[in-house]
Each structure stands twice: as structure tokens, then as C-alpha cells.
Amino acid sequence: MVDENTKNKKKGLSGVAIFFIVWGIVILAIILFFTLRNSGFTGNAINVQNNPDTNQKTCQDTCSYTGNICQGNDIYSCEENNGCKKEIFVGSCSDTQKCVNGKCVQNCHDVQVPYQDTETYTDSEPYTTQKCSNTNAVYKINTYDMVQSCQDQECANYNQVCSNYNWLGNCVSYTNGDCSKYNCVKYNIRNKITIDNKEKQDLTFNIQLNKYNQDTKQLTPISTQNVVVPALDSKEVDWDFVQMPSELSYGTYNLLKTPQIQVCNDVIAYHDIQKTRPVTKYRTEQQCN
């Protein structure tokens, strides 16, 4: 029979063996777990199962895009692994980029950049010109007393000449001899005016010359004249009309148009001029961080 010590030794050896066997199984299980995970058969990425009905693989959490996309700041690629497509982390957007609609784009914003340019503008500048206007000329018309002369006359008294004598020598009949006295039956009336031009330019006067009968109040035009009077000079204008002894008439004139002169003075006026000048303008540019 085996003694009690021998039994106890055997029991101790059996316990140690069991301990190492258990830890060996645990270590193998851990190694197998990480091996399968790195091969895509474990974890959350993809689970592949055999379908007993179709004998085909069924993929979960698959992706279908091509190329790279970003999420947040991470970049993923959809790649096939063991017959299924899954997302694989391939990198990150750079510090100067941001993820917009799945793409890494430059982190840019609009800024106003100044630059020099030339602009055209309108400026008002003074200049000297002449402003002219018409004004009545300065002149003076002088009138003179009319001059009366006989144009037609008749004999008012004849000298008596004896045409027959008697035997005593006395004149018994007379005839008219030479006229001893005449009476005027028609007069010529001469009228005169002078026009003094006070201006430094020639003036033209349009004058109507008349005969005015004081008894009948009748105005009879005699003539119309355009009289040119030189600058700073005078000119005489005269006209005649016939007057009967029973009439009382005199000459008048009408200035049909007052002569005018153009007077010009220097004035300051303004006109618009196109000019150019340098200006600072701004254009929009993108600035990327």
C-alpha cells in the first residue's frame, strides 16, 4: 500500500499541472483573439457569417464609396478585406484643412486686400469770359427853328402907268405897270435836327420826318431815313414841306427804333473738367490658414 505521504505528493503534482494547463489555455485564447481581430473577423468592423441556406458570406457594417472621405478630422478609405468592404483609417486632414462634405479642404476665408487704382472724376473750375447784353445807346437830338422861304408869290400892287392923255395933257386912263408889292402864296418850310452820338461805335437811327398841321391836327409823313452817325460825332438831318399862307404847320420827327449797343463785361464762369486721381480700392481674396 502506498503511504499517506506519497498520496499527498501525487495530489500536489496534479494541482500544479492543472494550474499551468489552465493558464496555457487562457494565453492561447488571448493570442487567438488578437489574431482574429487583426484579420477582420472580430470587433465592430465586420462580422462574417456563413449562411447555411446559400452557403455565402453575409457582410455587416459595409461601405460602398470609392476614394477617401473624412469624418471630423479623420480620413477613411473603403477597402475590400476577405470579400467584404470596410472603412479603414488612413490619416487626418492637415492643420490648414477642415472636413467639408467628406472632403478635406483648405480652411480659407475672404479678406479685403487694398490696392492702388486711378479714378476719373469731374471738377468745376473757374474761367474768365464775357457776358454781353443789349442796352439803349446814349445820344442827343437837337432841334432848330424852322426856316421859311417863299416858294411862289403874286403881285399885290402894281405901279400905275398912264395910257391916255386929254388935250390938256392930263392922264385920263391908266394901265398896270411894274409890280410894286408882292404877296407869297406858297411857302417852303425847312426843318433841321442834329444827332449827337455819345457812343464809341457807329449808331443807326431810323427816323420818320413829318409835317404837323396845328389847325387840323393832321400828321403827314414826309420821309423815312436811316441815318448813320459815326462814333462820337454828329450828323445833321433836314427835310422840307410846303405850307400855304393860311396854314400853321411845323416839322416833327419820330424815332422808329431806338439804337442799341452791345455792352460786354468780364465775368467769372465755371465749367466741368474731367480729371484723374489715385485712390485706394479693395478686392476680395481668399486667405487660407
Is the confidence at residue 49, as pLDDT, over 80?
no
**pLDDT at res. 11:** 52
CA 245 to chain centre: 78
| DSSP code of residue 44 | S
Phi and psi at 21, nearest 5°, equal -65, -45
Q: What is the pLDDT of residues 225-254, one digit of tens each?
A: 999 999 999 999 999 999 998 889 999 999
Give Cα separations from 104 to 88, 114, 152, 241 (angstroms): 17, 30, 132, 119
Distance, CA of 152 to CA of 185 (rounded, Å): 6
Q: Which residue has the higher pLDDT, 157 or 12?
A: 157
**Full 3-state SS string of 10-31:** HHHHHHHHHHHHHHHHHHHHHH
Average pLDDT of 255-261?
92
**pLDDT at res. 12:** 52
Average pLDDT of 192-214?
95
**pLDDT at res. 45:** 39
> The pTM is what?
0.47
Q: What is the pLDDT of residues 13-46, one digit of tens each?
A: 566 667 778 787 878 877 877 666 555 444 443 3
**Full 3-state SS string of 173-228:** EEEEEEEEEEEEEEEEEEEEEEEEECCCCCEEEEEEEEEEECCCCEEEEEEEEEEE
Long-range contacts of 6-11 (CB under 8 A, 24+ apart): none
**pLDDT at res. 212:** 95
Angle of CA points 226, 231, 232, to nearest 5° = 120
For the chain, the average pLDDT equals: 83
Q: What is the pLDDT of residues 121-174, one digit of tens each?
A: 999 999 999 999 999 999 999 999 889 999 898 888 888 888 888 888 888 888
State the pairing for strand pair 103-106/108-136.
Answer: unpaired
**pLDDT at res. 5:** 52
Total residue length of the chain: 289
Distance, CA of 230 to CA of 199 (rounded, Å): 9
Q: What residues have CB less than 8 Å from 203, skipping those under 6 apart?
A: 137, 139, 197, 228, 229, 231, 259, 261
Can you give the residue ranges of every domain in the chain? Answer: 45-106, 138-258
User: What cell was used for 232?
Assistant: 462820337
Q: What is the pLDDT of residues 57-106, one digit of tens each?
A: 567 767 888 888 888 888 888 888 777 888 888 888 887 788 888 888 88
CATH of 138-258, picked from 2.40.160, 3.40.50, 3.30.519, 2.60.40, is 2.60.40
Is the confidence at residue 51, as pLDDT, over 50?
no
Distance, CA of 109 to CA of 98 (rounded, Å): 12
